A and B are shown apart, each in its own frame.
Chain A
């Protein structure tokens, strides 16, 4: 296990180093026009990054690190909500598709996933805003929380901050934060949900072919019992690593979702910084997002191996 962890850690560090090298290389070419010693400059750049110095935003005159700290939690909140939705919806639907393999339910679900996967995020977002906000008036158009509520950010995750506050309108603001979260989280959840459905379906189909499932069925257990108790329990760990990779996709879609819904997260901040030609912010934001994606994906990998140690053996076996 230790060797496995070391390998993963090694991968993490080398990818991050490569990333900083690319970031610095671009800066060196574009901003400094290739003057000075590259490697010495890179070393100083790394030192700054390790010390948490991402530079100062030219638009606001404030440290980029502070802005990252301010906007990142909102993006995280959105992504986590979307992830939860994708699991809550995806696992049962994927299971249903596997159990009803080849029948009309399966076909319908597979068609649905294909459509969901192909729908452009911003278009879907606008459609939902038209329907639920403008036409029906059920949910707010944009933002993270109604600006009526003067909530001091603690974690930056509004659904938590509204509960931590001693504001007289604590509960109303919590409900309001949830209402604001619904549409963007639903839109963002579309792509990962289709992925969860497909992964669970294929993993479950593999498991259902196994002998122990047949044995369980011959023992007289009901279909539902066998699928839930034996099938899903064994299929789930197989699906986790691929689901972990989804976090990167979710983060990318989050950028677009944040713009459609004016969600005050990293994505919207990054796009504004680009329009303001704020290089320090662009560099800091890109590095932060890339770092987070890499860390999340390696983290999920390690997590799935901890839950499902056979995977580790599979890796070693394949490496001979």
Chain B
């Protein structure tokens, strides 16, 4: 009996043996903060979706070089812009293989048809896949891609031409965003013939470094190495996204080795991570902003005096200290200071309760009012703790007699609410997908972005729109900068949303993991990761 007890205890306490160590070395466990909404990043604008899919499963025509921030070849070897800025011609890389999965065996390598298929789906309302999985493409809808691209056509198996309806300076960087992934036209045709087109977005096929092996909803995603990857074999045989919404649990798993990498550590956890000998903390400049978006189509927020009163009531420094533990900066505009479109002379007003009260009295709301503030549940890349931020806002506004009810919603439900547009206010934000200022301004504030729910203020200002449009066709950079400065001035005069904070992008990992890249924008890319 005693022998058995000893044996069982030894067995339970034993760690890994030799073969196990090999398995652990070839597998990376990534603790993510949330589940992807879909396996096709074209369909979602959530960080979790981009992290889990964009760089693991797919490639784009172009990538952004993380150092120079300039576009560089990916699936397209080279590109050429016509002198009038209306035609872009891409030469495609030969011999790129799509994933072989249980449901699909590709008969040919990647070619121009796949590029046409991927973009036609987005821009052509009559495309058989356009309405599949909801028919909403938040990012591309908000930048108005269907109005911009007049035509996309294959000039040969390795050549594609995009014809634009107007010159657009951000077009190339938008093709390098995480959303502009290339899907397989052959797989699309096969699913359409089988009558199951929705599987295109649920059981994905791409050209990326990993292929989807298993997904247990809200639990984990298992990727296997793509054997024929065009950039060369990936070191990891297996990549697992362990979906762990609570940051305390992610940290606990990182400490015990059940996770190799932890997404979005909380600001309060920095001290623990830094002091632990086996952990490393990565920080990168974040192209992000967290904002309090007020529904400008709904009273009393349709009154600019009320919006300004709210802006004067809040203390962005308090939020920075309490929520971000000082990691980041108070926002003076929606663009972060690292953006080349940032307006250096534009400052947000300092907190001034007396003036806020006076403005409310002017709006005949001296006694305050009731409002509901929607919060995303869990951590976001631009806000590690929305609930705490919400509580700080609640307290500050309470001092003005504004009674704020907080309502924390899961990502899916929050999106639904924002698309419906009935909310009073929401705590939201944006993490840039590329270095172009248009990316943040367009998604958070343009008229087009109202329908997609990313413009939660539902603000549509003709003068502001004109600046954005002019910036995209401006002949040189200094003029573009001028338009973006004016756009920010207009935004601040009308204050449809209150910029709160910018933060650093952070990730923690075990010392045995190497080759991780923390990019200032977009989702994580794990293809170069390897373990000791």
Contacts and interface: CB of A to CB of B under 8 A. Distances in A.
A15 interface: no
A262 B256 CA distance: 15
Nearest to A174: B11
A134 interface: yes
A150 B213 contact: yes
Contact of B249 (A139, A148, A149, A262): A262
B43 interface: no
A261 B17 CA distance: 25
A169 B20 contact: yes
Given A141-B249, A169-B23, A262-B249, A146 B258 contact: yes
B14 A175 contact: yes
A1 interface: no
A79 interface: no
Nearest to A130: B252
B282 interface: no
A146 B13 CA distance: 15
Interface string A138-152: 111111001111100
Interface string B29-43: 100000000000000
A264 B258 contact: no
B410 A134 contact: no
Given A138-B13, A141-B253, A275-B377, A169 B222 contact: no
Q: DSSP class of B's interface residues: helix, strand, loop or mixed?
A: mixed
B218 interface: yes
Interface residues of A, number: 32
A129 interface: yes
Contact of A142 (B14, B218, B253): B253
A147 B242 contact: yes
A41 interface: no
Contact of B238 (A138, A150, A169, A179): A150
Given A168-B19, A178-B12, A182-B12, A276 B410 contact: yes
A146 B259 CA distance: 10
Contacts of A309: none
B256 A172 contact: no
Given A150-B214, A172-B16, A175-B12, A134 B240 contact: no
Given A150-B222, A276-B410, A140 B20 contact: no
Contacts of B413: 276-277
Interface in B248-268: 249, 252-253, 255-256, 258
Contact of B222 (A70, A134, A146, A147): A147
6 contacts: A138-B13, A141-B256, A143-B242, A175-B11, A175-B12, A264-B216
Interface of A: 59-60, 62, 70, 129, 133-134, 137-143, 146-150, 168-169, 172, 175, 178-179, 182, 262, 264, 272, 275-277
Given A60-B217, A175-B14, 7 more contacts: A133-B256, A134-B252, A141-B252, A148-B29, A150-B222, A172-B17, A264-B219
Interface of B: 11-14, 16-17, 19-20, 23-24, 27, 29, 213-214, 216-220, 222, 238, 240, 242, 244, 249, 252-253, 255-256, 258, 377, 410, 412-413
